[in-house]
Structure 1
């Protein structure tokens, strides 16, 4: 074999580490389940653009433990999706719950933090190595929503937390860039934690994951949507959950996941999108490098602008929360998206709110999101906040 005219020995080929360690069975899975079957043509077009693989059915769930803390019962779950490592999720519900509850899928952000996943949304015991809740004002979003009368499932998505790639022996390109980062740390006298070291590698490795996904006819967003759809089916089938009253909520990258899930599944009646709405045009030319492959799927714009994709949802009502000083989106792009959404949706299907501050899901925004979920899914929160908003 030759590479650029230079012979490569069999020994050198054998020594080259896997570029998708922990996911060597991923290509075979996509070949066996190449296409997700959506319920409507509009949703199918998005599924095909993202390359969402099909699913053979809701996976079997294992319960690893349960405890009650501050009025919320938390159960740790896991399931196997047929490729890659097992998924970890947490089911949260009020400790005194009776009857069937409305369900919410809590979608964690990207955050440049792939070492952890949904644990950043959950109030966990003191001995758990909890994921820092950067961007959430140190609040456990999923636990707080559950405390207000919901069954909430928060799960690790493809490439995050329990579903992360094994980068203990990174592929060569990732290893070279990672060594430069480690050299800078050494020069600065910084001793990175295990999570910091992994996240540095994962940030570089995301390009490799996106290239692999493209080769397989999918995308990073399509694979994440696959995991989200499986988690939604698990939530809908759990005892004590009303499958006709389901919603989803996410901040930043989780907000993008919330849009996609509301389109791909007619189960979703309420979708919260926080700090993840603009026009595609506004990202050009200065804001492209502010975002990951989770937003920037090649060819997605052919289906319409980002706010226009919401019209492909069969039944979801949307709450979109904008941060006026968001470092990742220009204000004119957010305001243009708001005007587009207002023009596209009948009264009641879209609510937009503008907030002061940067790319943060503040406590007041979380309270507004919980109130919206309660109103849309026909339940009553323990309190009805009236947060101040900036127009």
Structure 2
């Protein structure tokens, strides 16, 4: 691997969900500059928008949001959930992708005890979506299903390969990704071995669903010529371009009357429908999990689709205040739903699934979030689940280290699935 590529990977790990604009070097420098707590707690705290921060926070974030289940006026859980979900869908600009598409199976095989199917299906726009199905070799009957949601990681060239594997010989940059975020594991394979049918698909704008440079006008190509992505250097160039293209995609989606979260949700729900329809899957026992960008997608899918019996959100749990004042620069446009902070705090999107089982896994030194706001998000979800008389079905753990989903965290996630999808 070239020295430039090593440096890029290192910086991408700090970017986590990627960068909106500017250089990865700028983000790398900023993400290791910590503001003393004494300053953060002072009346004139430093924040991302300076003197406008306190005013912006006062608009909506100093009171319980209007549709929060924590409000005394809400006592009927089902009625509240229906109303709040409808409002979130309205704010997101929900997208209808039509009927479940035909699935094409391209290759089948066995890798390290896991039977796999490499499949694809065509959605209404873009290139066909590639996906992989994983389950224990020689398994019989119907098994619980898990939708594995891959991360962002500053890399849109990759999608499902970030968390799954079907062969021994894989590129070094994929191995590096596994080591950096997952302690060397393709975690989707690991959980499949335990008795699940796992589906991993390329998310919108990643992997097979990525935006192709040759499909865009020359005015936004940044002087990059069309090329096939054959080398790590070319992939690095593409990922930098794709990072800088995110603000264009977000603004274009806003102009279409929708949002990036809505498109994520629609495509993940379609994948869930494909998984649930399989003859080897028990559609009453469906789960989802993911790190970082996959954690965001878990919040959306787990909170808004009642088919998800068990959800595990990893490395993406905080408050709107954290994003407003401290950490928006460490995230992409994929996270935001206009106006919604007036009605629900960010963790309450996931809380819409109460009383269904929910696990949140955080990293104490996660550079993408503020620890105190991760803790506040945990308390919000605890309050929601307590009011729903389901405290035993919610758990949040804080693990040492930076942004990751390592073996210890994977073990906790797998045990949660064992309890609530198999138990």
Identify the TM-score tier after normalising by the shorter chain: 0.7 to 0.9
Deviation at 1:307, TM superposition (A): 1.3
**1:205-224, aligned counterparts within 5 Å?**
205-224=245-264
Residue aligning to 1:9: none
Residue aligning to 1:138: 184
Q: What 5-or-longer segments of structure 1 have no aligned partner?
A: 1-38, 180-190, 380-391
**Relative to total residues, which structure has the larger helix share, 1 or 2?**
2
Residue aligning to 2:420: 376
Structure number with higher relative contact order (C-alpha < 8 Å, ≥ 6 residues apart) = 2
Residue aligning to 1:63: 105
Equivalent residue of 1:153, what SS? strand
Are 2:326 and 2:370, in contact at CA under 8 Å, matched by a contact in 1? Answer: no
Are 1:303 and 1:309, in contact at CA under 8 Å, matched by a contact in 2? Answer: no
**1:103-252, aligned counterparts within 5 Å?**
103-129=145-171, 131=174, 132-133=177-178, 134-168=180-214, 170-171=216-217, 174-176=220-222, 193-252=233-292
In 2: Cα distance, 1:177 partner to 1:284 partner: 34
1:94 aligns with 2:94: no
Flag as ranges the 4+ runs of structure 1 deviating above 6 A. Answer: none
Note closer, same or farther for the CA distance 1:178–1:284 as it changes in structure 2 (3 Å cut).
farther
Residues 337-365 of structure 1: CA deviation (Å, up to 9, x unaligned): 11111111022221010111010111110
Q: What 5-or-longer segments of structure 2 have no aligned partner?
A: 1-80, 226-230
1:269 aligns with 2:309: yes
Equivalent residue of 2:313, what SS? strand
Note closer, same or farther for the CA distance 1:341–1:314 as it changes in structure 2 (3 Å cut).
closer
Are 1:247 and 1:271, in contact at CA under 8 Å, matched by a contact in 2? Answer: yes
Residue aligning to 1:73: 115
Are 1:174 and 1:201, in contact at CA under 8 Å, matched by a contact in 2? Answer: no
Of the structure 1 ranges 241-250 and 39-48, higher mean CA displacement relative to structure 2 is found in: 39-48
RMSD: 1.9
Are 1:266 and 1:314, in contact at CA under 8 Å, matched by a contact in 2? Answer: no
Equivalent residue of 1:176, what SS? coil
Equivalent residue of 2:191, what SS? helix
Note closer, same or farther for the CA distance 1:302–1:172 as it changes in structure 2 (3 Å cut).
farther
Of the structure 1 ranges 350-359 and 124-133, higher mean CA displacement relative to structure 2 is found in: 124-133
**1:31-42, aligned counterparts within 5 Å?**
40-42=82-84
In 1: Cα distance, 2:305 partner to 2:331 partner: 25
Equivalent residue of 1:106, what SS? strand
In 2: Cα distance, 1:316 partner to 1:230 partner: 21
In 1: Cα distance, 2:152 partner to 2:355 partner: 26
In 1: Cα distance, 2:405 partner to 2:308 partner: 22
Deviation at 1:299, TM superposition (A): 2.3
Residue aligning to 1:348: 392
Are 1:269 and 1:315, in contact at CA under 8 Å, matched by a contact in 2? Answer: no
Superposition TM-score, scaled by structure 1 size: 0.80
- Count residues in correspondence: 330
